[in-house]
Copies of this chain bind each other. A is one copy, B any other.
Amino acid sequence: MLKFGLIGCGRIGTMHANILHQEDDVILESVFDINKNFAKVVSNKTGAKVCNQDSELFKNKDIDAILIASVTSTHADYIEKALTNHKPVFCEKPIDLSLNRIRQCYNRIKKNDLPIQIGFNRRFDPSHAKIKNLLKENKIGQLNQVIITSRDPEMPSEEYYKSAGGLFRDMTIHDFDLARFYLDEDPIEIFASAQKLIDPNMMNKISDHDTAMFILTCKDGKQCFINNSRTAVYGYDQRVELLGSNGMLQSGNYNLDQTKIYKRESTETSSPYLYFFIERYQEAFSLQLKSFIRSVKQNSSTDVGFEDGYKALVIAEAAYKSLQERKSVSINYDW
């Protein structure tokens, strides 16, 4: 029986708690949130103890692994504390909004060989993972192009925006990780184009973007295109297309159900897409933790490591540089 400690009981932390609660050989031992009421709600649902101090979690000998779902600014500290206390750690993305802080963290933990996993859940989505496997099985020959469409159903609040660190670090970072996942190597160059089309007023106010396109290139010429929109009124739009020398693979959207409506004025109308990431990636979130649990049990390397968390942010920073310079820039992954 693996015992978990959870830090952060907001929306995403609660979701992780529920997943852990349903795992057969896992117990959610303790939870902490700076807002104790949030921790209590999770506790009531799962039977976990509520900690008064975050340090209790790290010092508790009974706890085998730590799950970090607190605000971004605390991630790197908590990762360091967890590993210092010899506890494998699962941390939500991003590791930090600052590359320097991530590098500092890396230097502090790199001698460590405990499992550490970053929360890039999309890799675990059954459809996204399936086309990666078909690619590896050589079903479409040599990969030439990756096309990632990633659009949120609706704009987040201004408050959320302010703390998110900008579109590329908050939203596109998932797509940068997916790009690396499919390309199976680190893209060396990126061009970014970003706009304020959906809510120009708010975007101007907070100096952010709501619409963006990116072209990434690998050393061997493989191309990857990413397209982002903070709003898609028809629903959460998450598609991947892989063009190979011998075929094409697509991972598409999930409808709410499998119904179709035929009327005089509309033919074959499908059910809406699953609303947002909690619904769309429900299975991915579960498979992600199963993967981490396996790594903890076997004390083996994880499917999405610290380095993956770092590199996605490196790409985001290069994207901002490209945006500023209006040119394609090299991506430097040096620590």
Quick check: is A15 within 8 A (CB to CB) of the other chain?
no
B-side contacts of A301, CB under 8 Å: none
Min Cβ gap A210→B in Å is 9
CB pair B267–A269 under 8 Å, yes or no, is yes
**Contact digits for A256-291, partner B, Cβ 8 Å, 1 yes 0 no:** 111111111011111111000000000000000000
| Residues 243-262 of A contacting B (Cβ, < 8 Å) | 243, 245-262
B-side contacts of A24, CB under 8 Å: 45
Chain B residue nearest in CB terms to A24: B45
Question: Which of the candidate stretches A27-35, A86-94, A164-172, A217-225 sits at the interface with the other chain?
Answer: A217-225
Chain B residue nearest in CB terms to A191: B191
Quick check: is A198 within 8 A (CB to CB) of the other chain?
yes
**Contact digits for A209-231, partner B, Cβ 8 Å, 1 yes 0 no:** 00101010100011101010101
CB pair A262–B247 under 8 Å, yes or no, is yes
Quick check: is A335 within 8 A (CB to CB) of the other chain?
no
Quick check: is A22 within 8 A (CB to CB) of the other chain?
yes
B-side contacts of A297, CB under 8 Å: none
| Residues 18-53 of A contacting B (Cβ, < 8 Å) | 22, 24, 45
CB pair A227–B147 under 8 Å, yes or no, is yes
Quick check: is A134 within 8 A (CB to CB) of the other chain?
yes
How many residues in A have their beta carbons less than 8 Å from beta carbons of B? 72
Tell me the bound Cα distance from A230 to B251 in angstroms: 23
Tell me the bound Cα distance from A113 to B270 in angstroms: 41
CB pair B215–A197 under 8 Å, yes or no, is no
Tell me the bound Cα distance from A273 to B263 in angstroms: 11
Quick check: is A151 within 8 A (CB to CB) of the other chain?
yes
B-side contacts of A221, CB under 8 Å: 195-197, 211
CB pair A144–B198 under 8 Å, yes or no, is yes
CB pair A233–B191 under 8 Å, yes or no, is no
CB pair A259–B267 under 8 Å, yes or no, is no
CB pair B269–A266 under 8 Å, yes or no, is yes
Quick check: is A142 within 8 A (CB to CB) of the other chain?
yes
